[in-house]
Amino acid sequence: MAMIEVKNVTKSFGTLTVLKNFSVDFTQEGVTVLLGPSGTGKSTLLRCINGLETIGEGDILVNGRSVKEKKNLREIRLDCGMVFQRTVLFPHLNVMRNLTMSPMKLLKTPQAEAEEKARFYLDKVGLLSKEKSMHNELSGGEQQRIAIARALMMNPKALLLDEITSALDPEMTSEVLKILENLAAEGVCMLCVTHEMQFARHVASRILFMDKGSLVADAGGEEFFSTIRKENERISKFLHFIGE
Amino acid sequence: MYKLNFNFLNKYGGMLLEGMWTTLALVVCCLAIGFVLGTVMALFKQSKVKPLRWFAAVWVDVLRNTPFLVQIFFFYYGLPVLGINTSAPNCEIIRAGLMAVKKDYYECAAALGYTRFQTLWYFVLPISLRVAFKSLVNNFVNLVLTSSVCFSITVVETMGAAKIIVGRVSRPFEVYLLILVCYCIFTYIVSFAAKLIDKKIRIEL
Amino acid sequence: MSFYDYAYLTSNDAMQFVKATGVTLYITLMSLFFGTVLGVLLGLVRCSKNRVVRTLPLLVIEPLRNSPLVTQLFLIYYGLPMVSRIMLDPYPAAILALSLNTAAFMGVLVHNSVSAVPDGQWEAGLALGHSRVSTFCHVIARQALRLLVPQAITLYISQLQCSSLVALISIMDLTKLGQNLALRTLRPFLVYGIVFLIYYVISSPLAALARRLEKKLAFHY
C-alpha cells in the first residue's frame, strides 16, 4: 500500500488554481524529487500533505488517514517530518533542547533517551560539537542540518523537504546536500522539492515534473534525464534553462 | 536658613516602614493580577473571535485614557483597580511580544505535531515574554509609582503613612523628600536588576 | 431649593462640569507648554558630545522620572513653604510640579528620538560640509521630529490623566468636582461615569491620532 495517496486534489489560492486534479502515490521508499518551474504547486503539494494547507477538492491519505479530518493531523504530522526553506530553530532553546523538546513533550520519551538520540542524530549531521549553541551562533547551513536532525528525532516515516537549500549560499548548500545523500544511502524516505539538479541526478530514485499545477512526467532518476527529456519539449527547455 | 530635621524618623520610622511593606504587598498582588489580565487581554486581541477582540480593545482603550485617581474613586476599594489599571499597558506590551513570533514558528511547531495550546505554551509565550521583558519591567516601575495614589482612598501604603506622619510632625519637606528618594532608590534597583536579567535572557529572533 | 434637589444633577452642575474641565485643560496645557520647552532643552543638552555636559540633565530627569508625581506635588505644595519663603498657591504649585514631571519625560523622548536617527545621517551631513549645528538643524531635527511627535502626543495624554492628581491639593478640577458631586448626590457611578466619559472623550481620539501618526511617519531605514 502506498504511504501517501494524493487523489484528484485541486487547490486554489483565491482565483489562482495551484494544483489541478492532481493525483500521485508515494511509497515509503527512496528519494522522490519534485521538479518544475516556480509557482507550479510543488511546495503547496508538500504543505497539503501534512495539513499546513487545506485542500479544496479531492483528498490526501497518509497511511490511510485523511488529511481533511482535523483529528488525523497529529498522526499525519508525526509520520511526515517537514523541514522548511527558512530555518525555524526555536530561538530561546539551545540546540540540544531544540532537538529533545519535541520527543519529550509529544512522544513522552524520557530525557536521557531523548538526549542520547539527539547526540546520535547530531553526529549524523556532523554537528556534535554544537550541542550547547544557540541558534544565532550557527551558520545557515548548520541551522538547516539541525533542522533536519530535529525532524528525524520524531521518527517520521518520510521526510518532506521544501527547498531547504534555496536560501543558502553554495558552500552551505553542499554541506546540507551531503547530509541528505548520506541519509538517502541509509534508506530514509524523502520527498524533496529542490532546484539542485546534481542532487536530483545522483540521489533521486523517482522524479516528478510539475507544470502549472499538473503532473507532466513521473519517472525514475536516470530515465528522466535521458529518455523523458528527449521526448518532452517543455522539460527539455526547463532543464536547459537551468543549465543542465 | 532652614535646618533639615529628620528626627521624626525616630518616632515614626516604623510607621513609614510599615507603609512601605503595604506598598510592596499591594504592588506584588497587582503585578500578578495585572500580568494575568494583560496576558488574557493580549490573547483576546489576537483571537479570531470578534467580540473578544472588541472587548479587549475597549478594555485597553478606556483604561489608558482615563485617570487612575478617578478609576479608584469609582471602584473605591483600590486593590483590584490597580491590577486592572496596569493590565492595560501590559496587554499592549505582551501583544507586541506575541506579534514578534512570526508565522514561521507556528507552522514549524504544527509540522512537528504540536497542538495549538502546546505551541502557545512551549514556544510562543516563552519567546514573547523574553522579547517583552524590558517593557514589562518598565510597566512594573510605573505600577509602583502609581500605587502611591492609593493613599487617597485611605490605603495606608507609603504615601499614606507619609501623610499621617506629616500630620503629626509638621515637617512635610523632609518627609516627602525622603519618600522621593526611597522611591528613586527602589526604582533604580529594579531597573538595574532588570537590565542584568534582560542581558541573560535576550534572544535574537 | 429643597433638600432633595441636591440629590440630582442640575443644569447648574452641567456648567460646573464645563468649568472644571476648563480648569483641567488649563492646568494640563500650561504644564505641557512649560514642560515641553524645558524638556526639549534638557533633551538637547543630553545629546551633546561632551560627557560631563551630557549627564547634567540626568540630575534633574532621573529623580523626576523615578518617583511618583503625587510625592513631587506634595513636596512642592506642602514642603516648599517650610524651607523657603515661597508659599505657592495651589494652581502655580500644580503647574510647576506637572511641568517638571513633563519636562523629565520629554527630555528622555527628545534624547531617544535624536539618537534613533542613524549615524549615517550625521556623517552624510558633515561630509557635505555642514557644521554640527547645521547638520542638526537641516538633517537630523526633521527626522527626529517624525519619531518624536507620536510619542509626545502619547506623553501628553498620559499627563492629562496625571493632572487629575491636583484634586488632592483641592484644586477644583474635573476630578475634584466629581468627588464633590458624588458625595453630594450619593451617586458615585453616575458622577464618576460622566467624569470618566469626559476624560475618555478628550484622550481617546488623541491616542488614535498618535497611533496613526506613528505608522505614517515611521521611516524604514
Residue with cell 492532481: A22
Distance separating the N- and C-terminal Cα atoms of chain A = 35
Neighbouring chains of C at 3+ CB pairs within 8 Å? B
Instruction: List all residues of chain A from 34 to 63 with a beta carbon under 8 Å from chain B.
Output: 50-52
Per-residue pLDDT tens digits for A190-209: 999 988 888 888 888 888 88
List of chain B residues whose C-beta atoms are within 8 Å of the C-beta of residue A156 = none
**pLDDT per position as a tens digit, B161-193:** 888 888 888 888 888 998 899 899 999 899 999
Q: Which residues partner with B182 through β-bridges? A: none
Cβ A156 vs Cβ A79: under 8 Å? yes
pTM: 0.75
Q: Which residue has the higher pLDDT, A239 or A144?
A: A144
CB–CB contact B112 A81 (8 Å): yes
Q: Cite the DSSP H helix spans in B47-169.
A: 50-64, 68-75, 79-99, 103-112, 116-119, 125-147, 158-169
Tell me how far apart the alpha carbons of residues C207 and C155 are, in angstroms, rounded to a whole number.
Answer: 10
CA proximity to A199, closest of A216, A182, A217: A182
Q: Locate A20 and state its grid cell.
A: 489541478
Q: Which residues have CB under 8 Å from B115's CB, separation 6+?
A: A74
A230 or B127: which leads in pLDDT? B127
Contact B166 C78 (CB under 8 A): yes
Stretch (H or E) spanning A61? strand A57-62
What pLDDT does A218 receive? 82
Cα–Cα dist B115/B110, whole Å: 7
Contacts of residue B174 in chain C, CB cutoff 8 Å? 79
C75 contacts on B by Cβ (under 8 Å) = 172-173, 176-177, 180
Q: Which of B61, B118, B40, A82 is nearest to C203 (CA)?
A: B61
Q: So what's the pLDDT on residue A72?
A: 85
Q: Where are the domains of chain B?
A: 13-100+132-201
Using CA coordinates, name the residue in chain B closest to A50.
B111
Please report the pLDDT score of residue C92 as a whole number.
93
Strand-by-strand arrangement of the A57-62 sheet: A16-26, A4-13, A57-62, A65-66
**Neighbours of B (≥3 Cβ pairs closer than 8 A)?**
A, C
Please state whether beta strands A158-162 and A65-66 pair in parallel, antiparallel, or not at all (unpaired).
Answer: unpaired
Q: How far apart are CA A49 and CA A7, in angstroms?
A: 11
- Return the bridge partners of A26, or none: A4
Question: ∠ CA B66-B72-B74 to the nearest 5 degrees?
Answer: 85
- C66: which chain B residues are within 8 Å (Cβ-Cβ)? 141, 145, 183-184, 187-188
Nearest residue to A197 via CA among A231, A225, A169? A225
What confidence category does residue A102 fall into, taking pLDDT thresholds of 50, 70 and 90? confident
Tell me how far apart the alpha carbons of residues B90 and B86 are, in angstroms, rounded to a whole number.
Answer: 6
Contact B198, B129 (CB under 8 A): no
Tell me the domains of chain C and their CATH numbers. 22-217 (1.10.3720.10)
Q: How does strand A190-193 pair with strand A158-162?
A: parallel
Spatial neighbors of B202 by CB under 8 A, at least 6 apart, are: B130
Quote the CA–CA distance of A154 and B114 in Å, as a whole number: 12
Q: Which three cell numbers stand for residue C201?
A: 472623550
Band of the pLDDT at B81, cuts 50, 70, 90? Answer: confident
Q: Which CATH superfamily is domain B13-100+132-201 in?
A: MetI-like (1.10.3720.10)
Query: From the CB coordinates, do chains A and B have 3 or more pairs under 8 Å?
Result: yes
Best to test chain B binding among C67, C162, C190, C201 (most B CBs inside 10 Å): C67
pLDDT at A244 over 70: no
Averaged pLDDT score across all residues of chain A? 86
Which CATH fold would you assign to the domain A4-89+156-241? Rossmann fold (3.40.50)
pLDDT in tens, A6-38: 888 888 888 888 888 888 888 888 889 998 887
Q: Give the model's confidence band at A115: pLDDT under 50 very low, under 70 low, under 90 confident, else very high.
A: very high
Q: Is A144 on the interface with B (CB under 8 A)?
A: no
Contact A215, A22 (CB under 8 A): yes
Q: Which of A224, A195, A110, A107 minimizes the C-alpha distance to A155?
A: A107
Give the whole-angstrom CA distance, residue C184 versus residue C6.
7
State mean pLDDT over A104-109.
87
What chains are in contact with A, requiring at least 3 Cβ pairs below 8 Å?
Answer: B
Range scoring the smallest mean pLDDT among A71-75, A174-178, C95-99 = A71-75
Integer angstrom CA distances of residue B121 from A108, B94, B116, B131 = 17, 14, 9, 15
Say if residues C43 and C136 touch (Cβ distance below 8 Å).
no
Residues of chain C with pLDDT under 50: 1
Closest CA to A31 of A224, A168, A212, A239: A224
C-alpha–C-alpha distance, residues A162 and A167, integer Å: 11
Q: Where do the structural domains in chain A lie, given as residue ranges? A: 4-89+156-241
- Whether residue B117 lies within 8 A of chain A, CB to CB, comes out as no
Residue A15: count of CB within 10 angstroms of its CB? 5
SS3 labels along C17-63: HHHHHHHHHHHHHHHHHHHHHHHHHHHHHHCCCCHHHHHHHHHHHHH
How far apart are alpha carbons B180 and C71 in whole angstroms?
6
C-alpha distance from B64 to closest chain C C-alpha (Å): 8
The Cα B41–Cα B88 span in angstroms is 8
